[in-house]
């Protein structure tokens, strides 16, 4: 029955010619389709997938010009931009990523007048500030994105990307002792530090073009010694050397890693977007065959290593996460590894691994995405303890200065609590936490007039879904407020209660901000993730629509004033929320969003996402992908909300034809008379801007459109 209804809907869709309400750039259709499991899936805009075609490029340009023509006339854009500049001027500095090498502190700072962040250092907290470098070392259109010290504390690796791109990152190496940059230039992508002082891993592949799919077997990894001739670099990992370790279907990537200068073992990781990777190991420089240490079936999400002891976050029979330890000198199976910290009632958050000081692991547990509780493991003794610092805000993020001591940066913040910085030691806590003489914690206006409500709303199936609501005190619950709902719901990642200055600005104007902690995220552990995963993915957007219904029922807003926003995989959430319930929303903003999921795996970044969303080759997963696909669910003659659809032309994660095909489909189908815009940022990748002020302008234009479409009145 589902198949029949779907096929009939497809025929109806392409059998009608709905008159556009706007004079959009013309978009041709072609007779193209795919057949999967006896289901014909029409693909009339398939020609847009050819991003190298002049016809396609001209179409994107015409769409972007059309969008600019509308956005440039919005009266609120200039006002919002000035508001952002004023808010930005409140911060006398924007200190970030403080790292310590010996007595020297390295850190990013972006002062109010700076378009881009710069890297500084000072000898001790009270030392003179010195500029290490800025973007000009790479080029006028570059941004410094991150830096890190090697395990031996000899070198910094500093990365910068062109414009807002990701894939174009170029690294340079800085000698900490001499304060000079090295001449080394890698003919590939920096991967990490390798065993031995001055050694690094880097990868090479046939092309860096984000529009071209690269097979993992076509990537090679080499070792380079800083200061040596690049022609001397030897291949460390390749398909030719170890074909048996590669995933034949290209759904996983294999890469080298080394975790600690005192560890005698090097590793290979085989993984994808799935949290569970395979690990292979051998003794450094032994050249012996790789041995499998951990399989995907062991459900190890992350590892940390101190010497030859490996600490593992395991979710097998423990969906909230437990900590195990294995001695690499005497390895056992994961099932027989030593239990260090048992599973707790709230989930352990470790998307990018646990942070590690010289002697401690830092274990952050988060309830519903809104309240963080930190614990530690003393890796010398295995003792599990509560963090020795006061947790008096939503979040207290603990970041090591480096791994040569146990001092940590302490950042406290919350939805309406601006971040404050201090530091202390985990091993021997200071009598009083210290603050940095060169940093001033900002004091934003309006925070005292804000109210935060943490509620759990009933979703379509009776499950209680956490929702965070931020609004101005004394707001009238008359349904006349603009309501903004943000959600994500994928990969087990939580929408944490971070301070967003722009939320304060919007709430001050009377806008109700809601963050929906929908299923598919990690707010309630791995089970919450799996409840919005592949065949259960509809729970994700149904949770969002239930959030909208709750806000309307309580008088926070109404359908004519309500907007939903999601980024990347959050495009599935937004796209399907509005195609399933267009009556609930006045405006939708799928930003660099996944909107054509049955074609996802045929994009360059698609195969690696199969473990999260599925493949059309599997009949059950095919129907799940069809259900996730917002483009396939657009129906002609429907009054769709206004839409602001965005893409970055250089996006390596969500290729531009996904948002484009959705935009074209809705433009052709909607009869609401509301604008459906496609914004193309030719200088950006997955959402970043070329500099701070360009980002402010993009934000201001987006919100000017939202406020106009939701009937905002000053």
Task: Assess contact for 557 and 513: CB atoms under 8 A.
Answer: no
Q: At 546, is the pLDDT very low, low, confident or very high (cuts 50, 70, 90)?
A: very high
pLDDT of residue 165: 76
For domain 205-344, give the CATH superfamily: Prolyl oligopeptidase, N-terminal domain (2.130.10.120)
Token reading at 640: 């769709």
Q: Is 254 helix (H, G, I), strand (E, B) or coil?
A: strand
Go through the chain and tell me how many residues it has.
714
Residue 521 pLDDT > 90, yes or no?
yes
d(CA 406, CA 648): 41
Alpha-carbon distances, residue 44 vs 325, 578, 604, 645 (angstroms): 54, 21, 21, 19
Average the pLDDT over 700-712 and give the result.
97
CA distances to 119, 276, 622 from 148, rounded to whole Å, are 11, 25, 42
Cα separation of 115 and 106, whole Å?
Answer: 20
pLDDT of amino acid 402: 83
Residue-wise over 358-370: b if at least 16 C-beta within 10 A, else e? Answer: bbbbbbbbbbbbb
Alpha-carbon distance of 481 to 644, in angstroms, equals 20
Residue 9 scores a pLDDT above 60 = no
Please compute the mean of the pLDDT values over residues 316-331 and round it to a whole number: 96
438 with 422: CB under 8 angstroms? no
Q: Which residue has the tokens 């670099």?
A: 233
Q: In the prediction, which pLDDT does 52 show?
A: 96
Kindly state the tokens that stand for 439.
């940093």
- 226-270 pLDDT tens trace: 999 999 999 999 999 999 999 999 999 999 999 999 999 999 999
* Confidence at 684, pLDDT banded by 50, 70, 90: confident
Task: Answer whether 500's CB lies under 8 Å from 543's CB.
Answer: no
- Residue 164 pLDDT: 73
Query: What are the distances in angstroms from CA 612 to CA 248, 252, 483, 536?
Result: 18, 12, 30, 11
Query: What are the tens digits of pLDDT across the range 34-89?
Result: 999 999 999 999 999 999 999 999 999 999 999 999 999 998 999 999 999 999 99
Boundaries of every domain in the chain: 2-53+451-709, 205-344, 354-442
- DSSP class of residue 253 equals E
What residues pair up with 225 in beta bridges, in sequence order?
A: 199
Nearest to 288 by CA among 242, 234, 221, 232: 242
Confidence of residue 698 (pLDDT cuts 50, 70, 90): very high
Going by C-alpha positions, the residue among 265, 359, 360 that lies closest to residue 308 is 265
CATH numeric code, 2-53+451-709: 3.40.50.1820
Residue 653's contacts (CB-CB under 8 Å, 6 or more residues apart) are: 166, 568, 592, 605, 685, 686
Q: Do residues 77 and 679 make contact, with C-beta atoms less than 8 angstroms apart?
A: no
Predicted pLDDT of residue 163:
81
* pLDDT, tens digit, 9 for 90 and up, residues 393-447: 999 999 998 888 999 999 999 999 999 999 999 999 999 999 999 999 989 999 9
State the first-to-last Cα distance of the chain, in angstroms, to the nearest integer: 50
- 3-state secondary structure at position 709: helix
Spatial separation of the C-alpha atoms in residues 279 and 577, rounded to whole Å: 38
Q: What is the pLDDT of residue 522?
A: 95
pLDDT digits (tens, 9 = 90+) for 564-588: 999 999 999 999 999 999 999 999 9
Q: Is 176 helix (H, G, I), strand (E, B) or coil?
A: coil
Residue 356 pLDDT: 93
Say yes or no to pLDDT of 677 above 70.
yes
- Long-range own/partner contacts, residues 406-411 (CB < 8 A, 24 or more apart): 406/357, 406/358, 406/359, 406/360, 407/100, 407/357, 408/357, 408/362, 409/98
CA 596, 601, 604, 605 torsion: positive or negative?
A: positive
What is residue 434's DSSP assignment?
B
CA atoms within 13 A on the CB side of 670: 27
User: Binning pLDDT at 50, 70 and 90, where does residue 2 land?
Assistant: very low
The Cα–Cα gap between 166 and 160 comes to 9
Residue 179 three-state SS = coil
Distance CA 523, CA 344 (A): 14
């Amino acid at each position: 029955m589902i198949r029949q209804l779907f096929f009939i809907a497809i025929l109806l869709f392409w059998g009608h010619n709905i008159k556009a309400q706007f004079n959009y750039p013309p978009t041709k259709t072609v007779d193209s389709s795919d057949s999967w499991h006896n289901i014909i899936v029409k693909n009339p805009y398939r020609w847009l997938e050819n991003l190298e075609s002049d016809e396609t490029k001209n179409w994107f340009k015409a769409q972007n010009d059309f969008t600019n023509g509308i956005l440039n006339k919005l009266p609120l854009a200039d006002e919002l931009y000035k508001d952002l500049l004023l808010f930005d001027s409140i911060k006398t500095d924007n200190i970030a990523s403080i790292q310590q090498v010996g007595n020297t502190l390295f850190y990013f700072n972006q002062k109010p007048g700076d378009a881009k962040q710069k890297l500084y250092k000072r000898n001790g907290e009270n030392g003179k500030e010195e500029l290490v470098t800025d973007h000009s070392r790479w080029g006028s259109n570059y941004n410094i994105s991150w830096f890190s010290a090697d395990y031996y504390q000899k070198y910094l690796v500093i990365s910068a990307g062109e414009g807002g791109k990701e894939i174009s990152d170029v690294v340079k190496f800085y000698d900490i002792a001499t304060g000079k940059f090295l001449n080394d230039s890698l003919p590939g992508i920096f991967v990490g530090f390798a065993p031995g002082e001055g050694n690094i891993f880097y990868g090479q592949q046939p092309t860096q073009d984000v529009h071209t799919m690269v097979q993992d077997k076509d990537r090679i990894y080499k070792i380079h010694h800083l200061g040596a001739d690049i022609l001397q670099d030897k291949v460390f990992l390749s398909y030719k050397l170890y074909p048996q370790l590669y995933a034949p279907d290209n759904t996983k990537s294999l890469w080298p890693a080394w975790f600690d200068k005192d560890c005698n073992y090097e590793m290979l990781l085989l993984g994808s977007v799935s949290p569970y990777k395979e690990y292979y190991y051998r003794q450094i420089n032994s050249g012996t065959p790789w041995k499998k240490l951990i399989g995907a079936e062991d459900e190890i999400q992350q590892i940390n290593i101190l010497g030859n002891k490996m600490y593992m976050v395991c979710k097998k029979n423990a969906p909230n996460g437990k900590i195990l330890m294995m001695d690499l000198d005497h390895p056992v199976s994961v099932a027989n590894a030593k239990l260090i910290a048992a599973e707790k009632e709230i989930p352990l958050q470790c998307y990018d691994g646990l942070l590690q000081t010289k002697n401690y692991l830092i274990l952050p547990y988060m309830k519903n995405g809104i309240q963080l509780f930190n614990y530690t493991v003393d890796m010398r003794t295995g003792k599990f303890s509560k963090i020795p610092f006061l947790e008096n805000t939503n979040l207290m993020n603990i970041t090591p200065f480096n791994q040569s001591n146990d001092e940590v940066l302490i950042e406290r913040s919350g939805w309406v609590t601006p971040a404050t910085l201090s530091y202390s030691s985990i091993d021997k806590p200071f009598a009083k936490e210290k603050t940095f003489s060169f940093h001033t914690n900002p004091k934003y206006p309006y925070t005292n007039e804000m109210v935060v409500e943490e509620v759990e709303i009933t979703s379509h199936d009776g499950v209680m879904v956490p929702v965070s609501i931020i609004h101005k005190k004394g707001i009238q619950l008359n349904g006349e407020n603009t309501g903004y709902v943000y959600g994500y719901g994928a990969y087990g990642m939580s929408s944490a209660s971070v301070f967003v200055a722009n939320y304060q600005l919007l709430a001050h104007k009377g806008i109700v901000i809601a963050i929906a902690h929908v299923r598919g995220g990690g707010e309630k552990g791995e089970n919450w993730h799996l409840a919005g995963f592949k065949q259960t993915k509809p729970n994700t957007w149904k949770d969002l629509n239930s959030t909208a219904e709750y806000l309307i029922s309580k008088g926070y807003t109404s359908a004519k004033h309500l907007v939903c926003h999601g980024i990347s995989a959050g495009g599935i959430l937004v796209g399907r929320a509005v195609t399933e319930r267009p009556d609930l929303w006045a405006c939708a903003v799928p930003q660099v969003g996944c909107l054509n999921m049955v074609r996802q795996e045929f994009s360059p970044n698609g195969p690696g996402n199969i473990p999260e969303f599925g493949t059309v080759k599997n009949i059950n997963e095919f129907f799940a992908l069809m259900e996730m696909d917002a483009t396939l669910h657009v129906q002609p003659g429907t009054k769709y909300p206004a839409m602001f659809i965005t893409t970055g032309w250089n996006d390596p994660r969500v290729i531009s034809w996904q948002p484009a095909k959705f935009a074209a489909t809705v433009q052709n189908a909607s009869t609401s008379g509301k604008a459906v815009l496609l914004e193309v940022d030719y200088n950006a990748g997955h959402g970043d801007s070329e500099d701070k002020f360009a980002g402010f302008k993009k934000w201001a234009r987006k919100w000017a459109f939202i406020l106009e479409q939701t009937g905002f009145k000053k």
